[in-house]
Amino acid sequence: MAGVRVGNRIIGTEAPVTVGWENVPKVQGGPWKVAFFTYFQPASLLALLAFWYYAPNSIATAQTAIIISLSFRAFLIALEFMAPRHRSWMLTWKEAVTDLFYVGMGYTVVRMMGAYLGDDVIIEAVQGAADWSKLDWFAGMPLLIQALAISLLFDFGQYWMHRGMHNWYPLWLTHAPHHYITQLNINKGAVGNPVELFLIGLGVGGFFDFLPRAALLAGTFGLAIGTYQHINVRFNTPGWWRFLFNTTEHHSVHHSQDYEASRSNYGSTWIIFDRLFGTCVDGEAEKLGMEGGRRMTISEAMHFPFSEGYNTTKQWLRAKFHKPSAVPAE
Amino acid sequence: MNLPFIDWAWRTRGAIAIDPPLTTEETFARLKPLVDEDSTRCDYGDNTLTYVKGNPAAQDRLATFSRGVFAVEQQGGLTRLLYDVKSNALALVLLAPLFFVGFAQIAVAINHWEDRKAEAVEAKGEKAGDEEEKEPAPHHWIDEALGAPAPETLEQKKARMEQEGEQKKEKLPTTPSYVLAGLFVALYLLGRFLEPYLFRRTLRRALDLELAETADSPAETLEPGHAG
């Protein structure tokens, strides 16, 4: 495969990747259909931001956020069935239950790890050791500025953690199972080893004191933007959105079977950090996964970082200490 | 493993009449697109085909019923395809609620232990648990001008929580585990009825040679910007 030059890199030599927005297909159909798939994303983002900005305190609660999040995701799953981006990514019953199991791990095992080892615990220990209080000035800023700052700060951390996972072998071992997904669907973000999901969830937000409403607004950025990175729906996403935010197109390139393409688009909600640090590739891919698209089983995903790490260490030690004996020359 | 009294939970059996009749070889040739994958092991007998899919791809048409036996029966000039297949996925989804209910029980035990620990600290006269909640900062003047509701004072929050009967926050919430267990029960029921229907429909389409037409679509024509 010839590949396409993007900066210093050649993308798409190992698997098909479409590079450049001008080459990405657009939604075809009647005016209502085109209008829906063009304006749905910005309209729902604005509607949700307005809701959280103006909702009375009795409604602006974490419980409402959970109800909205579940309803929104259920609607997007329905949309995947109505307007799939690729038929080869259709959600089957088996894929749905597999994804749900990983979602369940996130709500149980990963949450337990977070409760005892997570960022809140680490930050509390740091604050206690250094006798720091929370940064109160943060809560005095306008709500939307607080929300933007929370979202950007978290995403900045995620960007570097994710990039680290692709560049440092011990971290890669935890992240590799996530790259064995062969299609994108709403819940695929939860697919992976619990250690990775724990690591990617670490943030520094706990150092700041912010208003609960700002946190709910920041959560909306994740829900109404970040969720689309794993969706099997084609949108006529506006250019400004694609410039600022991560999209399913960007993330499909990241999950491509092409190695060089997979080392791009590390952002979660925002793509601007990739643009800033030179890792952004605008485009899309359909053939996803590792090892030619081998589907990793749940049991393998659970032990992969440990078994693979053990095997690699064993090989490394063998190579270091058991050098092949010299063959005497005839 | 044979579990004859309960294996109906993940096993499906049936027969499909083939009209016009086919020979055994012709029948199996039509099923080939379903079992002709790298990950499928096939054993052909006189009139049987046993298949095992070690790790089927996400879009494999037999991904759910990943092992089983097909048999061709010729009787009175009629051909019937008999199938007897099993699904590891259905069996695991049936067990999944136990996993999440079990996890909820672990969470209950941990929460109980945390409460006991907090009580012991309080009994010693030390301050227990979370730091004291502070009054929230007032809104910025921009938010006031735009009409965002003012932050809830601690008194208002207390009154609301009393009115809504909100419970004390647990260290590890158990509700998600129970909800997930319920979802897996619902998904099991859906799969137990939907998947055998889809499996049968797939077999019919294979026997009617409809799958060959919908097989892998031809490669995209390469255009500028496409790497491939």
Question: What is the tens place of the pLDDT at every residue in A182-201?
Answer: 999 999 999 999 999 888 87
User: Mapped to the 3 state alphabet, what secondary structure does chain B carry?
Assistant: CCCCCCHHHCEEEEEEEECCCCCHHHHHHHHHHHHCCCCEEEEECCCEEEEEECCCCCCCCCCCCCEEEEEEEEECCEEEEEEEEECHHHHHHHHHHHHHHHHHHHHHHHHHHHHHHHHHHHHCCCCCCCCCCCCCCCCCHHHHHHCCCCCCCHHHHHHHHHHHCCCCCCCCCCHHHHHHHHHHHHHHHHHHHHHHHHHHHHHHHHHCCCCCCCCCCCCCCCCCCEEC
What pLDDT, on the 0 to 100 scale, is given for residue A299? 94
Instruction: State whether residue B51 sits within 8 Å of chain A by CB.
Output: no
**Digit-coded pLDDT (tens) for B180-193:** 999 999 999 999 99
CB contact under 8 A, A17 and B227: yes
A5-19, A92-106, B33-47: range with lowest mean pLDDT: B33-47
Q: What is the pLDDT of residues A274-305, one digit of tens each?
A: 999 999 999 999 999 999 999 999 999 999 99
Which of B10, B103, B113 to substitute to test the interface with A, most A CBs within 10 Å?
A: B103
**Which of the four pLDDT bands, split at 50, 70 and 90, describes residue A141?**
confident
Using the beta-carbon criterion (under 8 Å), do A54 and B147 form an inter-chain contact?
Answer: yes
If DSSP codes are grouped into helix, strand and coil, which group holds residue A68? helix
**d(C-alpha B17, C-alpha B26), whole Å:** 14
Q: What is the pLDDT of residue B137?
A: 78
Q: pLDDT-derived band of residue B7, with 50, 70 and 90 as boundaries?
A: confident
Question: In the predicted model, what is the mean pLDDT of residues B160-187?
Answer: 84
With a cut of 60, say whether residue B214 has pLDDT above it. Answer: no
Give the pLDDT confidence of A155-174 residue by residue, as tens digits.
999 999 999 999 999 999 99
Confidence bin at B121 (pLDDT 50/70/90)? confident
B215 close contact with A: CB closer than 8 A: no
pLDDT tens figures, B49-59: 999 998 899 99
Q: Looking at CA atoms only, how far is residue A212 from chain B in angstroms?
A: 8
Cross-chain residue pair A18–B227, CB shorter than 8 Å: yes
Q: Name the minimum distance, in Å, from the CA of A328 to any CA of chain B.
A: 44
Please tell me if residue B103 touches chain A, with a CB cutoff of 8 Å. yes
> Where in chain B are all domains bearing CATH 3.30.530.50?
7-88+191-207
**What CA–CA distance (Å, rounded) separates B83 from B203?**
10
Q: Work out the pLDDT band at B19, boundaries 50, 70, 90.
A: confident
Q: How far is B41 from chain A (nearest CA, A)?
A: 16
In the predicted model, what is the mean pLDDT of residues A46-62? Answer: 93
**A166 touches B: beta carbon within 8 Å:** no
Q: How does strand A17-19 pair with strand A9-11?
A: unpaired
Which residue has better confidence, B130 or A250? A250
Residue B107 touches partner A, C-beta closer than 8 Å: yes
What ipTM score was computed for the predicted complex, to two decimals? 0.86
Neighboring chain A residues of B100 at a CB cutoff of 8 Å:
104, 108
pLDDT at B222 > cutoff 50: no
Confidence at residue B157, expressed as pLDDT on a 0 to 100 scale: 78
* More confident of the two residues A248 and B128: A248
A323: confidence class by pLDDT, cuts 50, 70, 90: low
Whether residue A13 lies within 8 A of chain B, CB to CB, comes out as yes
**A30 CA: distance to closest CA in chain B (Å):** 25
Q: Does B151 touch chain A (CB under 8 A)?
A: yes
- Tell me what percent of the residues of chain A surpass a pLDDT of 70: 90
Considering only alpha carbons, which residue of chain A is nearest residue B135? A211
* b/e A80-106 (16+ beta carbons within 10 angstroms → b): beebbbeebbbbbbbbbbbbbbbbbbb
Tokens at residue A100, please? Answer: 């749900």
Chain A: give the shortest CA distance to residue B150, in Å.
8
> What is the reported pLDDT for B218?
43
pLDDT recorded at residue B217? 46
pLDDT by residue (tens digit) across A216-238?
999 999 999 999 999 999 999 99
Q: Which residues of B touch A140 (CB under 8 A)?
A: 137, 140
Predicted local confidence at residue A205, as pLDDT:
61
B90 touching A (Cβ < 8 Å): no
* Burial (0-12, 13-18, 19+ Cβ within 10 Å), B111: middle
How far apart are the CA of B28 and the nearest CA of chain A, in angstroms?
Answer: 25
CB A49 within 8 A of CB A220: yes
Q: What CA–CA distance (Å, rounded) separates A144 from B56? A: 47
Which CATH number describes the domain made up of B7-88+191-207? 3.30.530.50
- Residue B127, pLDDT > 70, answer no
Distances (CA, A) of B57 to A181, A292, B4, B91: 10, 11, 29, 19
Nearest to B172 among A57, A100, A115 (CB): A115
Contact B227 A19 (CB under 8 A): yes
Residues A196 and A106 sit within 8 Å (Cβ to Cβ): no
Per-residue pLDDT at B202 exceeds 80: yes
Tokens 């009580």 correspond to what residue?
B119
Q: What is the pLDDT of residue B185?
A: 97
Q: Is B228 close to A111, i.e. CB distance below 8 A?
A: no
